Structure 1
Amino acid sequence: MPMNTVHDVFAATAARTPQAEFLFTESVTARAYGIAAGALHWGEAAGEVARLRQAYEKAGWGHGHRVGLLLENRPAFLLHWLALNALGVSVVPINAEMRSAELIYLIGHSEIGLAVTLPERAADLRAAAEQAGVPFATMGADDAVPQAPKAAPRAGDAIGPQTECALLYTSGTTGRPKGCILSNDYFLAAGQWYAALDGVCSIRPDTERVITPLPLNHMNAMAFSTMVVLTAGGCLVQLDRFHPKSWLASARESRSTIVHYLGVMPAMLLSAAPSPADSDHAIRWGFGAGVDKKNHALFEERFAFPLVEAWAMTETGAGACIMANREPRRVGSSCFGRQPDFLDMKLVDEEGREVGADTPGELLVRARGDDPRRHFFSGYLKDEEATREAWADGWFHTGDLVRRDADGNLFFVDRKKNVIRRSGENISAVEVESVLNQHPAVKASAVAATPDEVRGDEVLACIVLREDMSNNNPGQLAASIVDYALAQLAYYKAPGYVAFVDALPLTPSQKIQRGQLRDLARALPGQPQCLDTRGMKKRQA
């Protein structure tokens, strides 16, 4: 049987293991969503997907249509996605945190004709569609399917690997989100790549239980954790979100063997008091990115499983995924592995010249062989210019600054757009944050540029203090934080302003919202909570 679609892969595994557990909803997620805890078996899921497929087909939905899914991380998201995929309908995941302006843009840009939604958001979606001027209907996950407003645009074409499977919007940390067109091939390649991992990250067919708190409207959960289960069998444990106090209990309850994480999660788990139960689990390894250097080894020692760092983007999928799945992993160094055999890559400076060992440069990637875009995204919807720009000179420009050592190990430095240029020196926001976060008074930090008449940019640090430090003298705390940075960084990298804030601007996936942070950094100087520490920054003799 040819595997041309995500549904094909699901159907094949369901036919092979109908009695095995496919989805497991542990008790915390069940309570959050008001659904039953426990397992949905592959055979049961296949029956429900077939029922939904028939209902959509009867209502006229087909190849070339797009349907929005605002269902958070509920099992219904996966069942509707699989049913729609079988018909050649592309799904557009909708972040439940989106509000009016964001919804108007997404609905108008994607031209979805239907959204399967939580009942409490249906009116918001319909109002946004009216503003966008798009013919539109909503339905609940268990409702009858409304009639399609027009015939399927590609009804006469065969559904296959290049059929659009999903339209995922970039997180929009800067500017308006772009719609990444992702084909069936993109998702199939992700599942195959993951299932074939070796070294620290082997996959046992029909055995692994993959737990993730990451949102299904992002590529990590849709294209990696979901697809490895569809491809290799086993069980997916999709949490509603990350709950640091109950996460380990959820992993035990669900008998999880592989976990997905983002950098903020290990830090939050480490902040709890150690317990003998920390290593009482069946977890073999974790797949993620961005663990703080100071936390990496501490976490692995305390929780008794490796956090394996990887690099990918929505645009690249597994077509350019790089992972530190083989020893030595360079724990605590932001190392994410070495160049894989299927990938061409180079690191370049601002003039496009390749940089040498241990010199940061922008990471450029392409698939090795005749098709440089193999398994990558198909392009940005309605933005050919941005697609051409991203693929300038036949390479995909990632916007990430990466360093490669003499042995070929790759180390993440920062997003290129997060670099602060002070008096001609390039400063990585992530590098400064990683030092500030080690200060005993700092709970979290975020660094951005603020304008400086003399130096162009100055370093501004937003600091969230630990609860037991919030009543201390702000001036003394700011001086202590800058002194700490000066002891570990070149003087020009230390904060010239320290702003004490209650919370950092974060995206729904808990990444720093760099666009909001830049706006904040421009507005903070001169405000009472923002202390000018520029006088402490002096070149050392």
Structure 2
Amino acid sequence: TLIKGHTVWVYAFETLIEFSEEGKKSKNPALWWVDGAGEEVKWSFEELGVLSRKVSNVLSDACGLQWGDRVILILPRIPEWWLVNVACMRTGTVLIPGTQQLTAKDILHRLQKSKAKCIITDESVAPAVDSVEAECQSLKFKLLVSEGHREGWLNFKDLLKNASSDHHCVTTKCQDPMAIYFTSGTTGSPKMTQHSHSSYGIGLTVSGRYWLDLTSSDIFWNTSDTGWAKSAWSSIFSPWIQGACVFVHKMPHFDPHIVFEVREESPATNSTILSVFVFSFPLSYTFKSLRHCVSAGEPINPDVMEEWKAQTGLDIHEGYGQTETVLICGNFKGMKIKPGSMGKPSPEYDVKIIDENSNILPPGKEGDIAIRVKPTRSPFLFTCYADDPEKTEATLRGDFYVTGDRGIMDEDGYFWFVGRADDVINSAGYRIGPFEVESALAEHPAVVESAVVSSPDPIRGEVVKAFIVLTPDYALHDPEKMMKELQDHVKKVTAPYKYPRKMEFVEQLPKTISGKIRRNELRQKEWRKD
């Protein structure tokens, strides 16, 4: 039925929440949330089902949202984020998550581009929404997830108290849109990556069972920002499909030391590990319950993996995927781990290394990492860049979807990441398009033009570096002061995680005959320095 396009994933998910054998036999809650100050929430799968039905009625009755309507969700790590995720699946509305670091300009772009009818956020983001609302004709409903009231906003908690717990799922087919994630591009504004009910809902089954190694007795802690696709991967679908508990710490801002302190005392058995953890890891910490670690979003240096194992006795099971996919390659349970390798392809994809003519390359040859989509396209691949058929078509080459990453496959079938084929920067798991940073810099009166590229960093893998040409009016008497001023400017204009941590002031930028900036030349120069 999946192949025919008639699987109703949301019913399967509802069955998981309320009636699955895995959920029934588990003594764990479905969601275990703590705020670090003594407050906690524990919901069973049944309670999660009841509450998500109430939220579904808030969306459909109080807001009048219907199948296919788009909903932007910008919330920190609080329980309501999980309820809205499930409620959108039940109602057939299309969820568009966003990080709380988005500025008013970022939110305006997302509202206008997506034509979202509803936005759900808290008091920290509400003022930014109000400042751009007049320019967003499609926005009809604003839900505030906070105590108290704000003019022009519906109070989410008040509506939830009065909502019925009786709700019937909207009928959705497997290829119907379920979620949209904005992802960075090299030469333009962020693209809307659209996923269906099958690509995430069913596609993350392999991840939960064989990469995360989860069972109904496990407790999984994923520290991803709620605005990223990795949160859907590892904070919703993968663990709940296995009946495992999702552990959450409110942690307003990511802090590896808080993670270590909580993890040492928490009963989490499985967890996401980032390289920044290892660099910050105090030797005194021991993790009594931790038995399985995974990493994604950035390649981890083999030396880092060895140091982690020496201190904890645990391997780090690296995985590789994109906003456009589920897990493409992974070091799965029972596999020999080759430090630095992404592992082997998931059975959900036919993964190859290809050249510019779509020819499959032999082991040891560098090329583009690609997924076969002809004669049959995997249902676990994104459906399209929403409202942008040209960019969707540009991802195809011959019989393959081209990831935009370069890699090598060895004689044993293990894949090794080489780097991006384009200019997107992946810094500690955050994907940053140079266009967005360059656009922000261009708004400062001191900047004539700039070029943004990746630069090596021992902790984050790579960071944003800006090469900047200044106007004659801004003589560079104090480079440190100018750098700080421009960094603060970028943080105000766009999401703070995008600001350039490194800068170099130059007289001119390398360009092609047609006047295009040669970012590739600057990037190669940076990486040769290391």
- Cα distance in 1, alignment partners of residues 108 and 464 from structure 2: 31
Does residue 125 (structure 1) correspond to residue 154 (structure 2)? The answer is no
Q: Does 1:26 align with 2:31?
A: no
Pairs within 5 Å for 1:118-267: 118-141=122-145, 142-143=156-157, 158-171=171-184, 175-197=188-210, 202-204=213-215, 206-241=216-251, 242-267=254-279
Query: Which of 9, 17, 36 pairs up with 1:13?
Result: 17
* C-alpha separation in 1, matches of 2:115 and 2:42: 35
1: distance between equivalents of 2:132 and 2:424?
A: 36
Quote how far apart the aligned CAs of 1:308 are: 0.5
Post-superposition shift, 1:7? 6.0
Superposed CA deviations along residues 111-131 of structure 1, whole A, max 9, x for unmatched, are 111111102322321332322
Q: How does 1:77-88 map to 2 (within 5 A)?
A: 77-88=81-92
Structure-2 residue corresponding to 1:486:
none
Give the 3-state SS of the residue equivalent to 1:336 in structure 2: coil
Q: Report the Cα offset of residue 237 of structure 1.
A: 1.1
Residues 512 and 102 of structure 1: is their aligned pair in 2 closer, same or farther, counting only changes over 3 Å?
closer
AA in 2 matched with 1:54: N
8 Å Cα contact 2:117/2:141 also seen in 1: yes
Match for residue 74 of structure 2 among 62, 70, 76 = 70
Partner residue in 1 for 2:505 = 523
Q: Does 1:410 align with 2:415?
A: yes
Give the TM-score normalised by the residue count of structure 1.
0.71
Q: Helix, strand or coil for the counterpart of 2:210?
A: coil
**Residue in structure 2 matched with residue 50 of structure 1 by the alignment:** 53
2:352 to 329, 346, 353: 346
Larger relative contact order (Cα-Cα within 8 Å, sequence gap ≥ 6): 2
Query: How well do the aligned residues superpose, as a CA RMSD in angstroms?
Result: 3.9
Question: Quick one: distance in 1 between partners of 2:95 and 2:325?
Answer: 19
Distance 2:134 2:323 in 1: 29
C-alpha distance in 1 between matches for 2:12 and 2:460: 46
For residue 244 of structure 1, what is the amino acid of its counterpart? P
CA, structure 1 residues 450+101, in 2 after alignment: closer, same or farther (shift >3 Å)?
closer
Asked if the contact 2:358/2:399 (under 8 Å) is kept, the reply is no
Amino acid at match of 1:186: S
Contact 1:66 1:111 in 2 (8 A): yes
Give deviations 1:389-441, integer Å, cap 9, x for gaps: 11232311111111122222211111112599xxxxxxxx98x83xx73xxxx
Q: Which amino acid aligns with 1:101?
A: K
Map residues 277-316 of structure 1 onto 2, 5 A cutoff.
277-288=285-296, 289-316=298-325
Separation in structure 2 between the aligned mates of residue 350 and residue 218 of structure 1, nearest angstrom: 30
Q: Please give the per-residue CA displacement for 1:301-356, whole angstroms capped at 9, x wherever unaligned.
A: 202222111111111224x344454432112xx20112344432322344555444
Query: Which of 371, 389, 412 lines up with 1:365 in the alignment?
Result: 371
Is the aligned partner of 1:113 residue 2:106?
no
| Residue number among 35, 39, 43 corresponding to 1:40 in the alignment | 43
Partners of 1:57 and 1:317 in 2: how far apart? 29
Amino acid across the alignment from 1:46: G
The alignment-based identity, stated in percent, is 17
- Partner Cα separation in structure 2 for residue 73 and residue 244 of structure 1: 16
2:403 to 398, 401, 406: 398
Counterpart contact for 1:126–1:138, Cα < 8 Å: no
2:73/2:121 contact within 8 Å kept: yes
Deviations 1:467-488 (A, max 9, x none): xxxxxxxxxxxxxxxxxxxxxx
Contact 1:448–1:517 (8 Å) recurs in 2? yes
**Residue range with higher mean Cα deviation, 37-46 or 104-113:** 37-46
**Structure 1 residue ranges without an equivalent (≥5):** 147-155, 421-428, 452-500, 527-533
Could you tell me whether the CA contact under 8 Å between 1:7 and 1:83 is conserved in 2? no
**Residues matched between the structures, number:** 437
Counterpart residue identity of residue 56, structure 1: L
Distance of 2:352 and 2:464 partners within structure 1: 27
What amino acid does structure 1 have at the position aligned with 2:307?
L
